[in-house]
Amino acid sequence: MEHIISLTLENKSGALSRVAGLFSGRGFNIESLSVAPTMDPSMSMMTLVTSGDDRIIEQILKQLNKVIDVIKVVDLNESDFVARETALIKVHTRPDDRAEALRIADIFRANVIDSSPTSYTIEVTGDFRKIQAVIQLLQPLGIKEIVRTGRVAIAREPLRTVASQPRPVAKAN
Amino acid sequence: MMQLTGAEIFLESLKREGVKTIFGIPGGVVLKIFDVMHQQNDIKLILTRHEQGAGHMAEGYAKATGKPGVILITSGPGMTNVVTALADAHMDSVPIVCFAGQVPTALIGNDAFQEADNVGISRPCTKYNFLVKDVNDLAQTVKEAFYIASTGRPGPVLVDIPKDVSMNKAEFKYPDSVSIRGYNPTYEGSKWKIKQAADAIMKARRPILYVGGGVLFSGASQELRELAEMTQIPVDMTLMALGGFPGDHPLSLGMMGMHGTYVANMAVHYSDLVIAVGSRFDDRVTGKVSEFCPNAKVIHIDIDPTSIRKNVHVDIPIVGDCKRVLRELNNVLRATVNGDQRELRKPWWDQLNAWKQEHPLRYNQDPEGLIKPQFLIDRLYHLTRDRDPIVSTDVGQHQMWAAQYFQLSSPRTWLTSGGLGTMGFGFPAALGAQAAFKNRLVLCVAGDGSIQMNTQELATAVVEKLPVKVFIINNRFHGMVRQWQDLFYEGRYASSYLDRTPDFVKLAEAYGAAGLRIQKPGEVDDGIREALAINKPVFVDVPVDQFENCYPMIPAGGCNHEMLLADPPELQKRQAVGAQQDQQDQDTILTA
């Protein structure tokens, strides 16, 4: 099953490769990974999408906790979360396709951020399925190139004070 | 405030950490540090002949003393040579701090002479590693390195020091304590889980303690013994745990696993409660995981949460330091245990004793025949046991026999490479232990294959006056490989026959050490005594029966209760022919 894991780690050289190396060394999957500094510049936040059965996910969480540069590990699947991804799609447009491309962009509230006589570059943000849908619809027109950010995710705030909150996995080495 | 160079800060920091001995080899980028080391007498620097030797010596030192072993080597090849030892220490949780030289910071990444990405190379085989980019960070880094190496689940830590960092000056202030926000090992076990464990122990009819190296690292031998004696629960030890519980104790079933004793493996398979303490359910212990202790509840006590439920299902996980958890568990049990435990456990012990008698460890030594390796090791054990020796081994058949026949009675007397299975480990590890304990008897049981992977350290042994006694179980084969080829590859000895082994007696003498050879069963006792009496490093070459195999054996992926106990008949036939040839070879060697 797919899990989205949110990691807080030291913002220093080597921290990313320790996490990446852990996944390759132990044969765990990484479907996507995105990382950037937080408001505290000494820390970065990583959103990591992985998959595996319960036993593997348990190992992944424990192994991540064991990495000394990792400060906090949260399995977002333990609670409610929102996830978003941005894609930049360069779509080839023949003269009679150009309106269709704009229409599709419009439907998905996507922006055209660059255009040339034969192409549009469309920026779209949304959840995983929305991105997939845009790509599917643009495909017949001819997609020249796609870049995607990978997902970032954040836990939802509870509606009521008693609602379940994401449980940080106990940090212990 | 005085300004010190990086090299001086390094020295002062090591002194603050109480380091007495370090192992290493100089090179261009660490000369400043070696120069400073040369002008002081507080820390002994042992010059080895190969960086791998330095690495294993530091491991032997650490395993025997419990303190971190310290290595100092140069960049590039110095670093790559030590990688095997770091990987070995990582697998076996040995506290090591390795200081590596690095090219000057301005040259890093330029493919400079003797440059290697030390941090990148060592990342997967260290617990943590550092590149010190500023001399002002050096003292803090050294402090953190020792802290990380020796706390929690111990392991190797690498500190990469560029040349300019060792030359530049900074104010020296050694931190009193460290706090690393991403590293907080759990020492105290959950009381609630410990209570659950105690309840399970009280209910169990066929419990077994399955103890690993963690018992030694946390110094929990006393607590373990108290637990076993109070509850009369039998003790199975892994290869790494030997010495953690007295091997000759009536509650000890000896070693378990691939070449463990029959009773130890049967006990775990038929138990109804496995109490794993500081062990990690390695595949050499569990055999086929899906059929490991099929009817047992499992309690697992370990300081490393990743060890728990990594390979087998655990019913009662307890994350914590073995010593503290066992102490707490003993407290709970002491209040609950009632009645005669011996009486309660009688049916279980009757069964265990029956298994013990059914298939004890055995070998047949023909007094006129070739020396059996087990006989040599058995005699070595009996002739040295009252001196409480430290025993190191290499990797292979001789290692398993040493593990089976040496019933070590005290902790930190067993130095062996378990997880990584590093041939060439034994001799330097013995030297490291001897460097720590000048007056103790240090033995090394080696094979003729393994010893050849680090014989250069004979020079270190002689120069540093480290009188280790090395017994080379010489079968002119990579014996364990040959055994697998006999059992699973129809006797095709692909690259396992060592056509030419050196004359180990002459080899030792060439370095200024002593060399002896024991050739007949009748000479074994005298030969051992003679070797022990020499106050120098000694190589004792013992040509043995080439075709002796190590049993019991659980074939890889087999179940723990399905052990091979002797050579299968078709193998015996094949070997009879081989043995005849061997005898002829021996005769030619002896008459030559």
- Please give the Cα distance from B169 to B3 (Å, whole number): 6
Contact B98, B145 (CB under 8 A): no
Interchain contact, B186 vs A173, CB within 8 Å: yes
Which residues belong to CATH 3.40.50.970 in chain B?
A: 3-171, 373-591
- Please give the Cα distance from A151 to B129 (Å, whole number): 30
CA distance to partner chain A, nearest, from residue B276 (Å): 18
Q: Which residue of B has its CA nearest to A13?
A: B131
Residues B495-534, buried b or exposed e (16+ Cβ, 10 A)? ebebeebeebbebbeebebbbbbbbebeebeebbeebbee
Interchain CB contact of B309 with A (< 8 Å): yes
Looking at beta carbons, which residues of chain B come within 8 Å of A171?
182, 184
Q: Which residue of A has its CA nearest to B157?
A: A68
State the best of A11, A68, A69, A169 to mutate against chain B, taking most chain B CBs within 10 Å. A68
Interchain CB contact of A27 with B (< 8 Å): no
Interchain contact, A66 vs B185, CB within 8 Å: no
DSSP E strand boundaries for B401-520: 414-415, 442-447, 469-474, 514-517
Looking at beta carbons, which residues of chain B come within 8 Å of A62?
305-306, 308
Identify the residue whose tokens are 């298994």: B355
pLDDT at A100 over 90: yes
DSSP E strand boundaries for B325-457: 390-393, 414-415, 442-447
Q: Tokens at residue B410, please? A: 């005290």
Identify the residue whose tokens are 């940090």: A171
- Please give the Cα distance from B334 to B73 (Å, whole number): 51
Q: What is the CB neighbour count within 10 angstroms for residue A143?
A: 15
Count of positions (residues) in chain B: 592
Strands of the sheet containing B442-447, edge to edge, are: B414-415, B390-393, B442-447, B469-474, B538-543, B514-517
One DSSP character per residue, chain A reads -EEEEEEEEE-STTHHHHHHHHHHHTT---SEEEEEE-SSTTEEEEEEEEE--HHHHHHHHHHHHHSTTEEEEEEGGGS-EEEEEEEEEEEE--GGGHHHHHHHHHHTT-EEEEEETTEEEEEEEE-HHHHHHHHHHHGGG-EEEEEE---EEEEPPPSSTTS--PPBPPP--
Interchain contact, A71 vs B119, CB within 8 Å: no
Smallest Cβ–Cβ distance between A10 and the set B123, B182, B185 belongs to B182
One DSSP character per residue, B217-270 reads HTT-HHHHHHHHHHHT--EEE-GGGTTSS-TTSTTEEEE-STT--HHHHHHHHT
pLDDT for position B78: 97
Q: Which residue of A has its CA nearest to B119?
A: A14
pLDDT for position A13: 86
Interchain contact, B180 vs A68, CB within 8 Å: yes
Q: Tokens at residue A112, please? A: 């055209």
H-helix or E-strand containing B397? helix B397-405
Interchain contact, A21 vs B182, CB within 8 Å: no
Interchain contact, B306 vs A59, CB within 8 Å: yes
pLDDT for position A158: 81
CATH-assigned architecture of domain B373-591: 3-Layer(aba) Sandwich (3.40)
- Please give the Cα distance from B281 to B276 (Å, whole number): 9
Count of CB contacts below 8 A, A vs B? 50
Interchain CB contact of B294 with A (< 8 Å): no
Interchain CB contact of B120 with A (< 8 Å): yes
Interchain contact, A171 vs B182, CB within 8 Å: yes
pLDDT for position A21: 94
Interchain CB contact of A87 with B (< 8 Å): no
Interchain contact, A66 vs B305, CB within 8 Å: yes
Q: Which residue of B has its CA nearest to A54?
A: B309
pLDDT for position B338: 80
pLDDT for position A168: 61
Catalytic residues of B: 51, 113-114, 163, 480
Interchain contact, A173 vs B128, CB within 8 Å: no
Contact B104, B134 (CB under 8 A): no
pLDDT for position B589: 62
pLDDT for position A173: 52
Fold of B3-171: Rossmann fold (3.40.50)
Cis peptide before B552 (omega within 30 of 0): yes
DSSP classification of residue B556: T
Interchain contact, B309 vs A68, CB within 8 Å: no
pLDDT for position B570: 85
Which residues belong to CATH 3.40.50.1220 in chain B?
A: 191-358
- Please give the Cα distance from A137 to A143 (Å, whole number): 10
Q: What does the radius of gyration of chain A's CA atoms come to, in whole angstroms? A: 19
Q: What does the radius of gyration of chain B's CA atoms come to, in whole angstroms? A: 25
pLDDT for position B2: 81
Q: Per residue in B562-584, pLDDT tens?
A: 999 999 888 888 877 777 776 77
pLDDT below 70 — which residues of chain B? 1, 582, 585-592
Smallest Cβ–Cβ distance between B182 and the set A17, A58, A71 belongs to A71
- Please give the Cα distance from B501 to B360 (Å, whole number): 33
Looking at beta carbons, which residues of chain B come within 8 Å of A69?
182
pLDDT for position B186: 95
DSSP classification of residue B544: -
pLDDT at A47 over 80: yes
- Please give the Cα distance from B544 to B473 (Å, whole number): 7
Report the C-alpha dihedral over residues B94, B97, B103, B105, rounded to 10 degrees: 120
- Please give the Cα distance from B197 to B208 (Å, whole number): 13
Q: Which of B442, B485, B494, B475 is nearest to B546 (CA)?
A: B475
Interchain contact, B185 vs A62, CB within 8 Å: no
pLDDT for position A164: 56
- Please give the Cα distance from B323 to B330 (Å, whole number): 10
**The listed CATH number (3.40.50.1220, 3.90.1170.50, 3.40.50.300, 3.30.300.10) that belongs to domain B191-358:** 3.40.50.1220
CA distance to partner chain B, nearest, from residue A170 (Å): 10
CA distance to partner chain A, nearest, from residue B421 (Å): 19
Interchain CB contact of B187 with A (< 8 Å): no
Interchain contact, A17 vs B120, CB within 8 Å: yes
Q: What is the pTM of this model?
A: 0.93
Residues B318-338, buried b or exposed e (16+ Cβ, 10 A)? bbbbbbbbbbbbbebbeeebe
pLDDT for position A172: 52
Interchain CB contact of A44 with B (< 8 Å): no
Interchain contact, A171 vs B184, CB within 8 Å: yes
Interchain CB contact of B362 with A (< 8 Å): no
CA distance to partner chain A, nearest, from residue B130 (Å): 9
CA distance to partner chain B, nearest, from residue A49 (Å): 20
Chain centre distance of CA B20: 22
Q: Per residue in B333-368, pLDDT tens?
A: 999 888 788 899 999 999 999 999 999 999 999 999
Smallest Cβ–Cβ distance between B306 and the set A10, A62, A68 belongs to A62
pLDDT at A80 over 80: yes
3-state secondary structure of B342: helix
Q: Tokens at residue B332, please? A: 């709970």
Q: What is the 3-state secondary structure (H, E, C) of B17-53?
A: CCCCEEEECCCHHHHHHHHHHHCCCCCEEEECCCHHH
Which residues are CB-neighbours of A138 under 8 A, at least 6 positions away? Answer: A89, A91, A101, A104, A122
